[in-house]
Structure 1
Amino acid sequence: MASQESRLQRYLEVTQRANQIADSTQLDHLLDRLLDLIIEITESEAGTLYLYDAITHELIFKVVKGSPAGQALIGRRLSADTGIAGYALQQRQPFFVHDVANDPRWNRSFGEMGVLALRTMFCIPLLLRGEPVGVVQVFNLSPEVVDDDEEMALIELLTSRLVTEVEKARLLEESWRRERRQQALVEIVSQLTATLDRDELLRRIMNYACDLLEVEAASIWLIDRERNDLVLHIAGGRHSERVESLRLPRGQGIIGHVIETGETVVVNDVRHDHRFYQGLDQRSGFQTRAILCVPLRSPRIVLGGERGEIEGMIIGGAQALNPRDNRPFVAEDISLFQMLASQAATVIRLAELYCETDSLFTRIIDAITGAIDLKDPYTRGHSQRVSDFSVAIAQELGLPRDQIYQLRVASKLHDVGKIRVPDHILKKPGRLEEAEFAEMRRHPMYGMEFLRDNGLLELELLRNSWSALAHHHERLDGRGYPQGLSGEAIGLFGRIVAVADVFDALTSNRPYRPPMAVDEVLALLRRGAGSEFDPACVEALIRAREKGLILTQDERDRALASAKEHYHERAVNR
């Protein structure tokens, strides 16, 4: 009776322990405690636990007990058709091995038990409704354990009780993982539009891809239509700097195939795919095992009529390399990467269009200011220098990037009104008559009229920066022109350009006088600070000058001549 009560008590204790383990929703914790309990019940020295991946038909090492060396195997995968664990899975029933070391089914290549001398093994498949969930192996236990029907019943009770919890925890973990991925994708897509700098954008996409897909590296290849090849713009992972700007002929490699065909390609073992290009690994030191490639397909804007037509086009391809847990790429990875690539391709194309538009806009502005220089050859390069000086002052004042960009453009146009000033006044080498000077003083108003008549003041870029044109000849004491504004009524951009304009005018060559010495000009600006010029702008120019950011006309000419001479010497010596 005592023995029966003892067995009943043991059943109750194991059931209670199993219920406590079942309370855990963390898969790794649950598996760890499950293996501990089975080792304890069977009085084994060590054990391993695998989970079964039905998609790939593989067993995944999840827990190793009794062998420190075996910890390195966690996450490793092996075919579910190999080894004693694979055999147990096929048989769908537990079995005992009396001599592990000499059993032909034992896979010695893994060395999972390290230096542990193996004698016996008990292998238990974990089944749920007849379908495999995993396999438990325990080592160096007494054969009497498996000969005891009550012990076997206890083990079966334990595994059947907990296998349901294992599957629940795995499904919950997969659900959390999918939810985290979806949330991350939403955040990533929203952040992609935070910049139109293409290099920064590409870098972000690759970092997001590595985190989202949990891969070792990722890269983006874009089509270079001028050279008709592919160029690697951004590569994640170690040694990526070694492969920046690597080029491939169109159609070469797996990425080339994807870009040419528009197909998505998954290769979970690149050794068996003849399309794989090994040159990248050789140059970077990176070893590619698995690769997921998707095309970058973006809308192409074809201008014509009142609205553009949107036509799909492939601008390149993206690839993700080597999932970190050695798993293969699965359908969820492909779907997420395709969504990321679709959004990324659109934003990349917008960034390219922005760059093209910005370049066109800059060239138009340069053409306008060039026309001013043609009218007044004595001020050659004046508009560009004033723009550069204004930007240097703004940077010293700590203005934000968007305002500095607006100032760069508006300050370049500060003298655009001189286009309407008659040539006989503009090019007069001597002192102007009063009437001529009055006409010259109208050029800020002419500049504003030019912007207004051409609809340029409606642009956001100039809507908040027009004071660079209208106010750059106003004075803080109200004695400037054309409106006689004073103090804060003069826009900040106008005050900045006023300092930059005077510095360049006095340090440049004129037909009626040589350039003043820089020290004299700086002294003059400081004397006028507070009455004519904004003191903060004057000091900002002086600081920028000390940093070498502001060079006079002569200094620039000498620097350019020196650079040309140096370039010529290098070309001759090659």
Structure 2
Amino acid sequence: MYGSVMLLDVFRLAVLVAVASANIGLALVVYLRNSRNLTNRVFSAAAFVIACWLALDFLADQHAFSSNALLLRRANMGSSLTMGALLLYFALNFPQREERLSAAWHTYFAAGGTLVAITVLTDLVVSKVRVMAGSTNVVAGPLLPIYAIWALVGVASVVFILSKKYRRATYRTKAQLKFMLLGVALFALSSVLFGLLLPVLTGSYETGRLNMVSTLLLTGFTAYAMIKHRLMDIRLVVLRGAAYTILVATSGAVFVLLMTIMRASFADTFDVNSNALFFIAGLVVIFGFQPLRYLLERATDRLFFRRTYDPDSLLAELSVAMTSTVDLEDLARLIAERLSGKMRLTHAAVWYDSEHTPLMVSTAGQPSEWELKELRKLCERRQMIFSDELAAASQDAAILAQTQTRVLIPLDIDRNVIGALMLGPKQSGEIFTALDLQFLRILAPEAAISLKNAQLFAEKNQRVRELTALNQLAFALGDNIELDAVLNAALEQVVSVTKADSGSIMLLDKDGRTMMIQAARGIPADVVASTRTNVGEGIAGWVAETKEPLILVDGMDPRFKKELKREDIMSAITVPLTCKEKVIGVLSVNRKKSAEFFTKENLNVVTSFAGQLAVTIENAKLYGDLENTFMGTITALAAAVDAKDPHTFGHSNAVTAYAIAIAEKLGLSEEEVHSVRVASTLHDIGKIGIDGAILNKPAALSKEERSQINGHPTIGANILASLDFLQESVPLILFHHEYYGGGGYPSGISGDAIPIGARIISVADSYNAMVSDRPYRKAMSVTGAVEELKRNAGTQFDPDVVAAFLEVLKDEGHEQEVNLAGQDDGSSVRILRPTRSRTSRVAVSTGDGEQQKPG
């Protein structure tokens, strides 16, 4: 008997050392976690007192200390009250004291302190003890019921206070209280099991000594809730606990069943040793344990993940989706939507860099620009941040609260943050658990790699677009020699490739000190017309003066902050147009609405554009000067021809003005209009080879003289045939006296065989001749000339050209004369090519023959 008691005491001592060490270890961990926190200090004290309580209980039962058994038992019961008071004080102040304790609680704790002193120092609670083999029984004193009532009120108060706080708590505190309440419940159940049910069922109270193990359930769950960064999902804890309970119970039942069967079937019949049967049954249980554990875990996981998500499945799904998505915005949206939906979040967002500009895709609202900048600063720490781990009054917590972000996960590659995942609260209101933390830690690097690949893909595409645009610009500039066309084509390409909202090209005046807008996109016409910028003034003036390119972002340069704000510009690039080390203007592009800022890459592209553009502008200017010289020369030649006949002075200018207006009315191209301009100016150049006497003869011409006059188109064509740059105009000069119906000169061709330019000059020339004085007649009225054109439309003149010319006359204020010239035949202008938004004003002779200067 004594030997069995000694063996039990050794077993109890081993359990005591393990449990007490665990409690003291938990006390130290919680205390060191945050020694300045009141609840940490109180819990540590409570766990230490629990260890003392267990040690005193053990010592009081030992035969070696039987002489001090009464004192040890009283100290044991006093420490029990102290433990209860500390746990109650912990419950009142967790997670932090909200208000001072009421007088009632002060009275309660004072009563507890008094009871501790009475219990330890007097026989009013424990009058004496009866020492038995391996234990001691307490003989109650008169105040033992008061002791019990105080203790029961304390236990009930702990449960009530924690439950009340749980109902009012949110997020992490709520999860912590779940674990604490679970610990209290398990402590209570195990105490009932070891201290009441098993002793009653077995008839032995020795199992009650194992009740010390149940204290670890209380301190363990509470400490876990206080010190763990991320808590496990309480449902998984319960389900797994139930699964392992079933597993152990099933394994034990299988073992007992096998032993019973084998003893009944084999032991007596075959005289098999019982130790061998024990070994065989043990092997069966051991080998069956793992498959059974796997099946139970699978069953609990299916039950658990039915209400939440399976991290492994979600990770595999996201990996496949991210690998197959290369568009940056689509990738960010995919991650945000999958996380929000599968994790059952209120919202999720992905912040990423696009051309060094922070952008965000969110399943909810967008944060403000300031909030996004602050979030980016937090990401620079390159650490996962949970809002419930931050001090409530900190600025970091305030930023996360404003954006409703519960978890901020920076995405970095090679220590460079390229984006972040921003997760909102769970729809259930629960905290992010250890399972979520493990999942996010695995997901973050995969998401970072996918975003980086998408960024590289986007950058590659941008480089391709830029090179394509440069090539297109080179072609566009090569095809155009007119300055306006060059400027507009270049600006269109620059605005497109940089995704700008507006842009302009400003060129210096001849004085070299003032710049005007020569081409614009996205800028009001009145601003374009009124803008004058001196060199050295404003952004454009500074660039023109310093010859340095400038990139501005969100008003960061104080020199130009007011100008950007006035124009509502978020980001701008302005570069000088330099040719032969001389600034001739500036090129500017702006972003107003776009959230993306211009980058150095954008600046390099615009600078490359500007280099090509400056050279082309200079070439266009040189060509313009050459063309002006050319047009001045041919105008002088035409004037020399007109000077031979005082009656035809100014005739070439008038015909040119009419011809240009008709050509534009018919929608001819700029090149064709140019050919008409040159040909109409020089249409009578052949008269330079006709005797002036014939040209000025006041009487009718003889047949020979008429033949000489009719030869002037051929003479003019022969004069100009050797000039390559006039080859487009020569046929117009040669055939401007051909008749639409045939019978004209010099070739007698008809219809569409006559160049359209020649048909235009024919109408303009004939009309001006009719309304002008001649040596042999007076000028016709406008009405008479119009009647003549209508009458000969289809025979001498192209009907479409006549109709277009009549529209020109109406535009110039001769609608009444046109309408008076016979009944309108209902014909309309047939546009030969798409009409260009360009018109020319012409001047005509009045009915009395007064010549007006063409405009």
* Structure-1-length-normalised TM-score: 0.77
What is the one-letter code of the residue matched to 1:182? L
Match of residue 64 from structure 1: 362
**Aligned match of 2:318:** 18
**Partner residue, 1:288:** 569
Amino acid of the structure 1 residue aligned with 2:458: E
- Distance in 2 between residues matched to 1:473 and 1:151, nearest whole Å: 91
Partner of 1:553: 845
Amino acid at match of 2:658: F
**1:223 deviation in Å?**
0.8
Q: Does structure 2 retain, via aligned residues, the 8 Å contact 1:77–1:326?
A: no
Larger strand percent: 1
CA deviation string 1:318-338 (max 9, x = no partner): 122237543443221112111
| Pairwise CA distance, 1:435 | 5.7
CA contact (8 A) 2:379 2:417 kept: no
Identify the structure with bigger relative contact order (alpha carbons < 8 Å, sequence gap 6+). 1
- Whichever residue aligns with residue 30 of structure 1, its letter is L
Give the Cα–Cα distance (whole angstroms) in 2 for the partners of residues 50 and 268 of structure 1: 20
CA-to-aligned-CA distance 1:514-550 (integer Å, 9 cap, x gap): 2123444444455556665556555554554455487
Q: Please state if 1:343 is matched with 2:612.
A: yes
Could you tell me which residue of structure 1 aligns to residue 465 of structure 2?
180
Q: CA deviation at 1:224?
A: 0.8
Q: Secondary structure at the match of 1:295?
A: strand
Q: CA deviation at 1:222?
A: 0.9
> In 2, distance between residues paired with 1:144 and 1:398?
72
User: Could you tell me which residue of structure 1 aligns to residue 403 of structure 2?
Assistant: 112
1:291–1:319 Cα contact (<8 Å) kept: yes
Matched residue, 2:696: 427
Contact 2:554 2:571 in 1 (8 A): yes
Is the contact between residue 476 and residue 486 of structure 2 (CA under 8 Å) also seen in structure 1? no
Q: Where does residue 673 of structure 2 map in the other structure?
A: 404
Change (3 A) 1:157 1:349: same
Q: Deviations over 1:247-303 (max 9, x none)?
A: 1222222322322332222232445342x3856864xxx2233322211124xxxxx
C-alpha separation in 1, matches of 2:543 and 2:338: 50
Pair 1:34 & 2:335 matched: yes
Q: 1:251 to 1:369 in 2, by over 3 A?
A: same
TM-aligned CA distance change 1:559 to 1:16, over 3 Å: farther
How many angstroms does 1:508 deviate by?
Answer: 1.0
Please give the alpha-carbon distance, in whole angstroms, between the structure 2 residues aligned to 1:476 and 1:240.
44
Could you tell me which of 253, 264, 267 is aligned with 2:538? 253
RMSD (CA atoms): 4.0
Aligned partner of 1:154 in structure 2 is: 439
**Residues 312 and 514 of structure 1, relative CA distance in 2, 3 Å threshold:** same
Question: CA offsets, 1:169-196, max 9 Å, x none?
Answer: 3322332333334334433443344444
2-structure distance, mates of 1:202, 1:320: 14
For residues 87-98 of structure 1, the aligned pairs below 5 Å read: 87=378, 89-90=380-381, 92-98=383-389
Give the total of aligned pairs.
524
Name the counterpart of 1:297. 578
Counterpart in the other structure of 2:421: 136
2:527 match: 242
Letter aligned with residue 15 of structure 1? L
Q: Is the 8 A contact 1:18 1:161 kept in 2?
A: no
Counterpart among 503, 506, 516 of residue 231 in structure 1: 516
Which residue in 1 is equivalent to 2:174?
none
| One-letter amino acid of the counterpart of residue 485, structure 1 | G
Residue 373 (str. 1) matches residue 637 (str. 2): no
Decide whether aligned partners of structure 1 residues 512 and 334 sit closer, same or farther in structure 2, where only a CA change above 3 A counts: same
> What is the CA–CA distance in structure 2 between the aligned matches of 1:163 and 1:506, rounded to whole Å?
82
Deviation at 1:215, TM superposition (A): 2.4
Measured in 1, the distance between the counterparts of 2:778 and 2:801 equals 25
Structure 1 range deviating more: 260-269 or 97-106: 97-106
In the alignment, residue 514 of structure 1 is paired with which amino acid?
K
User: Which residue type is aligned with residue 64 of structure 1?
Assistant: S
Give the alignment's TM-score, normalised by structure 2.
Answer: 0.54
2:766 aligns with 502
Aligned to 1:51: 352
C-alpha distance in structure 2 between counterparts of 1:131 and 1:209, whole Å: 31
Please name the residue that 2:727 is paired with: 463
Q: Retained in 2: the 8 A contact 1:217–1:235?
A: yes
- Contact conserved, 1:254 with 1:277, CA < 8 A, in 2? no
State percent identity of aligned pairs.
25
One-letter amino acid of the counterpart of residue 770, structure 2? L
Q: 1:77 to 1:268 in 2, by over 3 A?
A: farther
- Indicate whether 1:322 and 2:591 are aligned: yes
Find the aligned partners of 1:433 and 1:40 in 2 and give their Cα distance.
100
1:97–1:134 Cα change, 3 Å:
farther
Indicate if the aligned counterparts of 2:481 and 2:620 stay in contact, CA closer than 8 A: yes
Distance 1:562 1:357 in 2: 24
CA distance in 2 between partners of 1:41 and 1:492 (Å): 71
Q: Secondary structure at the match of 1:105?
A: helix
**Contact 1:394/1:496, CA 8 A, preserved across alignment:** yes
**Deviations 1:68-89 (CA, angstroms, capped at 9, x unpaired):** 4x3364x88844xx45x63454
**For residues 288 and 16 of structure 1, what CA distance do their matches in structure 2 show?**
44
Distance 1:561 1:500 in 2: 15
Question: Do residues 485 (structure 1) and 748 (structure 2) align?
Answer: yes
Preserved CA contact (<8 Å) 2:781 2:849: no
Pair 101,551 (structure 1): closer, same or farther in 2 beyond 3 Å: same
Q: How far apart in 2 are the matches of 1:381 and 1:158?
A: 84
- Structure 1 distance, partners of 2:761, 2:396, is 84
Partner of 1:355: 624
Give the unaligned 5+ runs of structure 1. 299-310, 564-574
Which stretch of structure 1 is more off in the superposition, 209-218 or 123-132? 123-132
Relative distance call for 1:324 and 1:37 in structure 2 (3 A) is: same
Q: Within the alignment, does 1:125 sit opposite 2:416 as a pair?
A: no
The alignment partner of 2:516 has SS state of strand
Q: Is the 8 A contact 2:348 2:362 kept in 1?
A: yes
Matched, 1:207 2:489: no
Is the CA contact (8 Å cut-off) linking 1:251 and 1:259 kept in structure 2? yes
Give the Cα–Cα distance (whole angstroms) in 1 for the partners of residues 379 and 750 of structure 2. 89
Query: Alignment partner of 1:215: what SS?
Result: coil
2:125 corresponds to: none
Contact 1:96 1:146 in 2 (8 A): no
Partner Cα separation in structure 2 for residue 556 and residue 265 of structure 1: 63
**Whole-Å Cα distance in 2 between the matches of residues 359 and 562 of structure 1?**
18
Q: 1:436–1:165: structure 2 CA closer, same or farther, 3 Å change rule?
A: closer
CA spacing shift, 1:226–1:20, aligned 2, 3 Å: same
Q: Please state if 1:446 is matched with 2:706.
A: no
Query: Secondary structure of the equivalent of 1:102?
Result: coil
1:361 CA drift (Å)? 1.9
Alpha-carbon distance in structure 2 between the residues aligned to 1:475 and 1:239: 49
Amino acid at match of 1:272: D
CA contact (8 A) 2:655 2:761 kept: yes
- In the TM superposition, what whole-angstrom CA distance separates every residue of 1:216-269 from its partner, at most 9, and x where no partner exists? 322221111236311123333354632434112222223223223322222324
Question: Are residues 63 and 440 of structure 1, via their aligned partners in 2, closer, same or farther at CA, if it must alter by over 3 Å?
Answer: closer
**TM superposition shift of 1:365:** 1.7
From the CA coordinates, give the structure whose radius of gyration is larger.
2
Report the alpha carbon displacement of residue 341 of structure 1 after superposing the two structures with TM: 1.7
Alignment-mate amino acid for residue 62 of structure 1: M
